């Protein structure tokens, strides 16, 4: 490889792993690139930006690895990348677990991801929450074994005193914040994952609760799991529990290693930790100082990659972080937001850094020394790790004599260095680490290895029908604990049924009586449509729990859809039955009562399916209500009440066909008026009296008088209910994934 101008040499330092490194997560050249639109001088153009830039390292097994850095450093993005939660094609690089290369789908099945927000059912107790998690994740083991596992986990997490306490929410008193966070952790570790990811597990907690949570996580790590978490400004007590640090800034690696080596790392940079100041906090301060200087964090990233000492900062630059802080979102034209300096004025800075090699060579043996040399003698280089992943060629040829002597004296403390300056490290292929839900097995992993990782050939722990029954049991328990939703609907229909019965009773046998009866039917249809609107916020709240639980294959979207439908079938039947019983005799309606009841029931079913589908699409309940109200108005307008279906303009007839109010409205009218019985009378233009039969009313509205068409409308309503449930399933299955695009 050709040297750069001046033939200056860069040296490549590999991040060492312990000699007794028995496993854990290893990653190389993780790069996450996004295309952003920019506007400069009135012109818009697209530019690739690296949110993660060639991050290489490892997280040892049995230890807590903490990902830290200033705001906007890319901590959560990095965690999502390791956990396989970045969409296909966006993330490049390689990840291996215990020496085996892993695909994202396999990572998701061997790991647990605890989100920053606790998404739990508020009315379930701690024990019930963990038991349902055990049912979903532990498969077909005996109930006794599941109970023992849950009881042991409750004891390990320090939840014994709150075992039978409800989780609670803003309106219901429950467990404390720290206990809720520990329950969230317990839900995701019930199956004993080999990997545990936590996104800001101490967020929103007081110092005591935060320390308690990390203490429990520390115990989990010591039991043999690989734990990786993001954390912002940990207390000194929490820092004592952290085994391994990965510090990022603007998507680049600033430091990796033991917390006790941060001071040495700063010393190699020429920065001393002031007396009484925390070394980790001081390093982050130094990172921010460079970030706001002309050099940017690229200078520190270059130091980590090559051992080249970063240029010193002036006194003004060293104090700028405390005088004039720059928000992370503030654009900087010389650094491309700090995400991909090599693409934006990076060449100029690289030349500046290269120019400092001469001064760095004066202290070559010091500046190239691994920042981990003061560790125990068990630390030694890996011959197949980071350097090979980055494409570096180990070589001792042409190395500096001092370096060769040092390596000979202590071969276990140094890495081989390349004598050439590499223009650019190889870019990993995009297929190396991409999300593919159908990629269940990785070719490099044998059957025995898969079995050792909890039978990873199976995507779900349970078969379809037991899984559906578990979800139904949980749904019934939630309804039992929160009967307000069902009782409020039932109360509304009961009160409105009484009002309808007293308002429209004894209709007159004339045109006005017929009009009043038509008004009753259309109001009934609208009432049943609106009675399901309160399902919008209920499902939107539950959707977050669904996303968390299915992100690691706790259950299928199909079983969730079926369970939700079957659970509410009896409650919908009760609502329709109560309303029908109140109005039927009071208004002396005719036709088969069972058909009247069936139309009301299927109308509720199709309406509920429509509202649930809309709730799965909208991002929040405000937009959900707006969408449901807008469609209700459209369906009401085109159902045939204001303008009968025959007279609707041809270009709007399709709205009459898709309106879910059209078919129950016509079905109720056909049940009432498919007869030759007289419902009113009138006078012809020559003043001759005539009778108005039921079939005359239907003919005037252009509604069929054939008996078979009554059942056709029921089947169409059932078809709409099925269609909306299928659409609901498709949204859950393919559009409700917790991953970055």
Q: Which two tokens stand for residue 463?
A: 């078969």
pLDDT at 67 over 90: yes
DSSP symbols for 539-552: HHHHHHHHHHHHTT
pLDDT at 323 over 60: no
Cα–Cα nearest to 190, from 219, 147, 150, 230: 150
In whole angstroms, what is the distance from residue 496 CA to residue 526 CA?
12
pLDDT in tens, 456-480: 456 788 899 999 999 999 999 999 8
pLDDT value, residue 473: 95
DSSP character at residue 391: T
In whole angstroms, what is the distance from residue 182 CA to residue 187 CA?
9
pLDDT value, residue 131: 95
Confidence of residue 205 (pLDDT cuts 50, 70, 90): confident
Alpha carbon separation from 24 to 60, 82, 227 (Å, rounded): 5, 12, 9
Span 388-408, average pLDDT: 36
Span 501-508, average pLDDT: 85
pLDDT at 573 over 60: yes
Contacts of 615 (CB under 8 A, 6+ apart): 535, 536, 539, 540, 543, 621, 624
Residue pair 202/158 in contact (Cβ under 8 Å)? The answer is no
In 121-256, where does DSSP find H-type helix?
126-137, 143-156, 177-189, 207-222, 236-239
Least confident among 308-317, 322-331, 726-735: 322-331
pLDDT value, residue 319: 53
The DSSP H or E segment spanning 635 is helix 621-637
pLDDT value, residue 244: 94
pLDDT value, residue 524: 94
Confidence of residue 40 (pLDDT cuts 50, 70, 90): confident
pLDDT value, residue 17: 58
Confidence of residue 390 (pLDDT cuts 50, 70, 90): very low
Span 324-347, average pLDDT: 37
The DSSP bridge pattern shows strands 244-249 and 252-257 to be antiparallel
Radius of gyration of the chain (CA): 34
Span 51-73, average pLDDT: 91
* Burial group, residue 1, by CB count within 10 angstroms (0-12, 13-18, 19+): exposed
Q: Angle CA(720)–CA(724)–CA(726) in degrees, nearest 5?
A: 115
Confidence of residue 593 (pLDDT cuts 50, 70, 90): very high
pLDDT value, residue 211: 92
Q: What is the mean pLDDT of the chain?
A: 77
What angle do helix axes 708-735 and 662-673 make, rounded to 10 degrees?
160
pLDDT at 655 over 90: yes
Neighbours of 276 (CB within 10 A): 5
* Burial group, residue 39, by CB count within 10 angstroms (0-12, 13-18, 19+): exposed
pLDDT at 198 over 80: yes
DSSP symbols for 118-131: ----TTSBHHHHHH
Quickly tell me which residue has 């169409």 as its tokens. Answer: 716
pLDDT in tens, 128-182: 999 999 999 888 789 999 999 999 999 988 899 999 999 998 778 899 988 999 9
Tell me which of 159 and 43 has the higher pLDDT: 159
pLDDT value, residue 607: 93
Confidence of residue 193 (pLDDT cuts 50, 70, 90): confident
pLDDT value, residue 734: 86
pLDDT at 407 over 50: no
Question: Which residues are bridge partners to 91 per DSSP?
Answer: 32
Least confident among 274-288, 379-393, 516-530: 379-393
pLDDT at 520 over 70: yes
Neighbours of 3 (CB within 10 A): 13
Neighbours of 125 (CB within 10 A): 20
Least confident among 352-356, 722-726, 728-732: 352-356
pLDDT at 543 over 70: yes
SS3 626: helix
Quickly tell me which residue has 């006194």 as its tokens. Answer: 315
Cα–Cα nearest to 576, from 658, 642, 668: 668
Query: Is the C-alpha dihedral spanning 408, 412, 413, 417 positive or negative?
Result: positive
In the chain, % of residues over pLDDT 90: 37
In whole angstroms, what is the distance from residue 386 CA to residue 381 CA?
10
Tell me which of 394 and 48 has the higher pLDDT: 48
Least confident among 142-151, 512-521, 547-556, 716-725: 547-556
In the chain, % of residues over pLDDT 70: 77
In whole angstroms, what is the distance from residue 523 CA to residue 579 CA?
13
């Amino acid at each position: 490889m050709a040297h750069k101008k001046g033939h200056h040499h860069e040296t490549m330092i590999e991040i060492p792993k312990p000699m007794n490194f028995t496993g854990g997560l290893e990653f190389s050249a993780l790069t996450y690139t996004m295309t952003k639109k920019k506007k400069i001088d009135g012109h818009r153009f697209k530019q690739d930006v690296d949110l993660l830039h060639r991050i290489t390292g490892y997280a040892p097994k049995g230890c807590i690895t903490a990902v830290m850095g200033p705001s906007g450093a890319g901590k959560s993005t990095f965690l999502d990348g390791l956990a396989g939660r970045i969409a296909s094609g966006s993330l490049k690089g390689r990840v291996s677990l215990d020496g085996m290369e892993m695909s994202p789908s396999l990572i998701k099945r061997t790991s647990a991801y605890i989100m920053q927000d606790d998404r739990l059912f508020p009315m379930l107790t701690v024990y019930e929450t963990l038991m349902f998690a055990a049912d979903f994740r532990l498969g077909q083991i005996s109930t006794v074994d599941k109970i023992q596992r849950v009881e042991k986990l409750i004891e390990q997490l320090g939840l014994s005193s709150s075992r039978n306490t409800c989780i609670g929410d803003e309106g219901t008193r429950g467990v404390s914040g720290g206990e809720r966070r520990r329950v969230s952790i317990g839900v995701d570790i019930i199956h004993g994952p080999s990997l545990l990811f936590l996104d800001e597990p101490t967020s929103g907690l007081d110092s005591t609760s935060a320390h308690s949570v990390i203490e429990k996580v520390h115990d989990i790590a010591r039991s043999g799991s690989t734990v990786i978490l993001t954390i912002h400004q940990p207390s000194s007590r929490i820092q004592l529990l952290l085994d391994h640090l990965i510090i990022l800034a603007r998507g680049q690696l600033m430091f990796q290693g033991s917390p006790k080596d941060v001071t040495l790392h700063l010393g190699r940079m020429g920065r001393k930790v002031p007396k009484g100041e925390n070394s980790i906090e001081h390093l982050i301060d130094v990172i921010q100082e460079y970030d706001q200087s002309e050099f940017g964090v690229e200078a520190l990233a270059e130091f980590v990659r090559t051992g080249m000492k970063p240029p010193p900062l002036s006194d003004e630059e060293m104090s700028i972080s405390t005088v004039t802080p720059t928000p992370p979102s503030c654009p900087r034209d010389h650094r491309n937001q700090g995400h991909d300096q090599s693409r934006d004025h990076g060449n100029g800075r690289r030349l500046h850094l290269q120019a400092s090699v001469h001064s760095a060579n004066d202290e070559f043996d010091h500046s190239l020394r691994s920042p981990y040399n003061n560790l125990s003698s068990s630390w030694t280089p890996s011959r197949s790790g980071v350097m090979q992943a980055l494409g570096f060629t180990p070589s001792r040829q042409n190395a500096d004599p001092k370096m060769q002597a040092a390596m000979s004296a202590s071969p276990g403390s140094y890495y081989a260095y390349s004598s050439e300056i590499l223009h650019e490290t190889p870019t990993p292929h995009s297929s190396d680490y991409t999300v593919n839900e159908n990629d269940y097995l990785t070719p490099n992993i044998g059957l025995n290895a898969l079995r050792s990782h909890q039978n990873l050939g199976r995507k779900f722990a349970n078969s379809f029908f037991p899984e559906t029954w578990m979800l139904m049991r949980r749904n019934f328990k939630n309804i039992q604990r929160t009967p307000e939703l069902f009782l409020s609907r039932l109360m509304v229909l009961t009160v409105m049924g009484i009002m309808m019965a007293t308002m429209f009773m004894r209709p007159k046998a004339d045109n006005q009586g017929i009009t009043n009866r038509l008004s009753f039917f259309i109001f009934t249809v609208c009432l049943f449509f609106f009675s399901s609107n309160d399902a919008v916020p209920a499902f939107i709240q539950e959707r977050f729990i669904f996303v968390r639980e299915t992100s690691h294959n706790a259950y299928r979207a199909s079983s969730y859809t079926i369970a939700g439908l079957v659970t509410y079938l009896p409650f919908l039947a009760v609502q329709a039955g109560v309303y029908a019983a109140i109005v039927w005799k009071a208004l002396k309606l005719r036709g088969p009562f069972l058909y009247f009841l069936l139309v009301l029931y299927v109308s509720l079913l199709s309406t509920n399916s429509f509202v649930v589908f809309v709730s799965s699409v909208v991002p929040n309940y405000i937009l959900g209500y707006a969408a449901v109200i807008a469609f209700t108005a459209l369906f009401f307008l085109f159902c045939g009440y204001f303008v009968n279906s025959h007279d609707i303009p041809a270009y709007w007839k399709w709205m009459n066909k898709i309106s879910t109010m059209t078919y129950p409205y016509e079905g109720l009218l056909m049940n009432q008026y498919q007869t030759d019985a007289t419902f009113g009378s009138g006078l012809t233009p020559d003043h001759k009296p005539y009778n108005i039969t039921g079939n005359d009313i239907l003919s005037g509205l252009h509604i069929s008088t054939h008996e078979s068409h009554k059942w056709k409308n029921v089947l169409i309503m059932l078809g709409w209910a099925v269609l909306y449930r299928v659409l609901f399933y498709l949204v859950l299955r393919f559009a409700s994934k917790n991953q970055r695009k």
